[in-house]
Every structure is written in structure tokens, then in C-alpha cells.
Chain A
């Protein structure tokens, strides 16, 4: 068992890090303050290949492995949590299911533009009355000749504001519960797709969190993803993979905050010595590092299992749960280590503190993760 990153992974990590240092880090604060990621940056990320990292080359992806994807999301999130989730939701939740469940024709039609970043993808599952209980969605579809017609509403859709491509879930009959759900590939510029709002949030402010209204949206029949009634299974499978992305985002946020806290503790002098000489601070640093390092290992394991085609549901729930809780812990401690300065926007650690929280909530709350884990443990 080799716990060392391969040379190729190191080359990837260093390349992405260089890109992030020059292109993302200097504007991370502005992204948060202006609540948006500049289009030029999205285009640059596309040119770098960050938006199709683990999708195969034949569909315009970079053809890398899941571990590479995790590295990409972590490195980006280290500077900017909003940019990290853009990549994660786009890749895992939109390109991912199209690749895993799409027909050859669908893959060829939709993936190249997504992989190049020309179009940004999203995942439309959550509704006002269906969050953790995603089997209870109400957005409905009917068949009309060679089209499906979809009506309903979706909220909290990451990347929705780009009006790109969406993998959307709707039900033909609520009585069938999750068996009635189907998945569709939707061009979000279609008539009937209306953006109601982009939410104002506590954190990841540069990320679009969009509410949609869908009014008789006509979707060609060939846009059905998988078979009718397979939608719930597609959603669950997709979220499994998405958890690796979110865990990586959380790790990046945590790592960025930790590094700032470590550096600050060496520079900040009180009572005649740097505060890192104080055991209270030392213990915080040790605890922070321990949580990041262990969460990273389980995240890498989940990525490794998925890449090997092995079952990874347990590990993906674990990594999302552990990394997100590591992120909220680490950012809280990092802010504390900065003392009063931690509260000041100039120091950026407060943004990381705000960005971290959502990782415990989306793509399956940590409560849901615990349900998954205990179910698997108890058989």
C-alpha cells in the first residue's frame, strides 16, 4: 500500500496550485464580496481542463482518475470555496451521471461542451418540500408525443444561474414514490425554465444557488437519462460520487484555513513570544492537522475505490461527513487563532469559516450520511 502521491499526481497538484495561486487566490475575496465568479475565470478553468478532469478524452475530458479530480477540487477550494463547488457540482453531478447513465448519443451530444467548460452543468433534485426526503419530489412529467413536458420547481441548485445543462429529476406519479422518478437532461435555456432567484447566502457566495420554476418545459424524449423510473437510482448513485467532490472541497477550505492559522501563529507575538509557543495554540494546530489528514485519507480511499469500480457507498458517506466536520472545526479554530483579526474580512479566514458550513449540509446532510453509514454497518 503506497500512501504517497504518484509523480503524475504531484505534477497535477503543482500545476493546479500554480494556476490557483495566480488566477484564483488574488480574486477570492472579490468573488465573495461581489457574489460572483468572473466569466473569464470560468473560461480559464475550462481551458485548464479543470471542468472535465475525470471524464474520458473521447468526450473532451482530461481522462484523469478520481483521485486527480479530488486533488483538483481540493486545490481550488484551498483558495476559493465557491470556485471549488462550481467544479464539483458541474463535474460530479452533471457530467458524471450523463457519462454513467447516458447513451452513446447523449454522451457525444452533451459531454464535450460540459468538459470544455463552455457550458456549466447542474443537478436539479431538491425542491422546497423535498430536501433530505428527495424521494418526495413533486416536479412532474408527462409524455406528449416525442417530448416530455415537465412542470414544477427546484431550489438550491448549485450552478443554476449559468443556465447551462441540468440533470433534472421529476416524477410521473407521486404514488409510485421513488419508483416514479425519472431523470432528464435539460437545456436550461429552454422555454418554460425560469430563474426565480439566486439566493443570498452565508457562504460560498460566489456560487450560484438558484431557484427555478419549470412551466410546461418541453424536453425531447431522447433526453431521458436511463430508463423511466430509474431516476432515483441515478440520483443516489450520482450523489455518492458527488460526496467525494464535496469532501475535497471541504478539505481544501480546511487546508487553506489551517495554513493561514499556522503562519499567523508563528508571526503573531504576544507577551514577548509568538503565540505558537503557547500550548493552547499548539493543541489547536495539532487537532486541526489531525482532522484534515485523516479526512484526506478516507477521501482518497473513496476515490480509489470508485476508480477501481468497487463499492464505495460507505467510504463516500464517511469522507463527506468527516471532511465537512473537519472543515467547520478547522475554520472555527483558525478564526480563533487569529483572535480579533480573524473576524476582519482582510484576513480572509472569516470567509473560510462561512464557506465551510454548507459542506455539512448539501449533497446529503451529515445526518443522512450517518443514516447511510449505520444502515451499512447494521446490514
Chain B
């Protein structure tokens, strides 16, 4: 069984998350080859075949050409699986490859099962196992589902080039908004989620953060609604944090949020839904109405 792994790089630097692809391949027990559109200066520590395309030439985001590069690698390697990360790069590119090959794509794989793969659904609340019905399948891996593995070694480089222009022009990156708040250094973070109900309740959560000597964090919906600035956002499109204590208030546990905090030392979740996905990572789940519990807790901490 062979897996062609599609690595990711940004501005010539290999992204660490690419090593999760090797972790997956190990779980699958597959031989590997990798395609990377990146820079020679920063290659993965991997001894297998690496198809390298110069990101200087092919661009940071040029899905049409990147697709052609993947197809060229597929043509040469003839893998059983073409594996991407389920990232803004992967979920954009994988369907193009799958459609061109007219093969199955399974998105956001969590684990390998008999004859198929386990995927999340219903906003992470449920699971399904899916079996590809085509000889080749395209997969995208859920962030962090497969532990990164460093295979070690020096890649056997194969150059790969394709022709063409592509229908999309990349104009550049726009940096994330200034943080103001450095959650990465906080020892304690207390985060507000949609479950707090309204913007006026943010001070209640902030008060708990203060009582615990920590910082205020937030889930994406809270930031999108304008209740707190983006600098407080925890999650894939915000900051990834690993404080000693993380308290999630009224946060359901969307995968993007979990990805940003699940490495925290100790996780407390306050949610009136006993089945909320955040319960999967929480060390303690307090089943309560956030706005009833948090003021009580804050008051007791003050004593």
C-alpha cells in the first residue's frame, strides 16, 4: 500500500504540521512518497522520495498549478492514497485533485478502520466510517488527529514541473491583526463561547479570568459577533495555546477551537450540554448554565 503525502510550506518554510502526514502513513502501514511545493532550504527530515516543486516558481497559492503538480506525482508514484492535511491549503486543493482523477475524497480523517476511515460529522458530534469505492482515494487528515512522526533522513529529491498559468492569482498575505493580548504566554486562560448568551456577559467571564490570575480568551463565534477583539481568539484561525489551566465557558468544542487549546495542562469546561464535544477533551465538565455558575465560582474564589 502506498500513500503520496502532500506536504505544506509557507514562504519557503516547511510547516511542522506536515509531519502528521507521516504519522498517518505509519498508522496505515503504508509506504510513502511526498510532494512538496516549497523551498530547497527547508526540506522535511524524511528519507523517502520527495517530489519537490519550487514554491518560488509555483507560488504560495496557485491551486490549478499545484493540482497539476500533484497529478504529475500521482502519475509517477501510482499511490493508493493521496493524503493532504485538512487545512485551508488541503481542503482547497484536494477536491480539485479528486475531481480530476474522478476518485473518492474522504475529508477530515480521524482514524483508520477496517476497510475504510473514520470521519467526523454533524459538527463533530457524530462519526461515520466511509469506504472508498475507487482504487485510489484522496484523503484529508483532521488537524492533530495523527500524531506527528519524524521519519528522519534526507529526502531523495525528484524534480517535478508542469506547464500552464492557472486561473487564480495570489496577491500576498495579510498579517493577522495585532494581538494585544499574548495568550501564548498565559498560564491560565478563561475563554468565552457562544453559550454566554450576549456581549454584556463578557465581563463576567473576564472577572473569572482575573480571579484566576489569567487572560480572557474567546471562541471564533464570539469574535465574529464582535463581542471581543480578534486578539483573544483561540483556535486554528486565532492563537494556539497551552496554558496550565484552560477554562472553556459556554464553548461547544468545535474542532477548530479544540485544535487551539487541547494541549492545555488542565481543561475545565462549563456547558449545560452534557454531550458537548468539548467534554471529550475536558478533565472536568461542569454541567451548568455558564451565567449561573461562573459568578458563583468567581465569588467563591474571592473568599
Contacts and interface: CB of A to CB of B under 8 A. Distances in A.
A and B touch in the complex (CB under 8 A): yes
B292 A346 contact: yes
B149 interface: no
Interface magnitude class on chain A: under 10
Contact of B272 (A26, A27, A267): A267
B274 to A, nearest CB: 9
A19 to B, nearest CB: 15
Contact of B287 (A27, A267, A346): A267
Nearest to B291: A346
Contacts of A27: 198
B267 to A, nearest CB: 22
Interface in A53-89: none
A27 B201 CA distance: 12
A23 B292 CA distance: 22
Contacts of B199: 26
B292 A26 contact: no
Contacts of B288: 267
Interface in A23-45: 26-27
A267 B288 CA distance: 8
B163 interface: no
Interface in A262-308: 267
Given A267-B272, A346-B292, A26 B287 contact: no
Interface string B177-214: 00000000000000000000111100000000000000
Contacts of A346: 291-292
A158 B89 CA distance: 58
A26 B291 contact: no
A346 B197 CA distance: 13
A256 B108 CA distance: 39
A375 B292 CA distance: 51
B244 to A, nearest CB: 30
B166 to A, nearest CB: 40
Contacts of B197: 26
Nearest to B199: A26
Contacts of B287: 267
A315 B288 CA distance: 43
A346 B291 CA distance: 9
A267 B293 CA distance: 13
Contacts of B200: 26
Contacts of B292: 346
A236 B246 CA distance: 63
A66 B291 CA distance: 38
A26 B197 CA distance: 7
A26 B200 CA distance: 9
A267 B292 CA distance: 13
A188 B289 CA distance: 46
A26 B272 CA distance: 18
A340 to B, nearest CB: 13
A26 B202 CA distance: 13
Interface string A312-339: 0000000000000000000000000000
8 cross-chain pairs, A with B, having the tightest CB-CB distances, nearest first = A26-B198, A267-B272, A26-B197, A346-B292, A26-B200, A346-B291, A267-B287, A267-B289
Interface of B: 197-200, 272, 287-289, 291-292
11 contacts: A26-B197, A26-B198, A26-B199, A26-B200, A27-B198, A267-B272, A267-B287, A267-B288, A267-B289, A346-B291, A346-B292
Given A267-B289, A346-B291, 4 more contacts: A26-B197, A26-B200, A267-B272, A346-B292
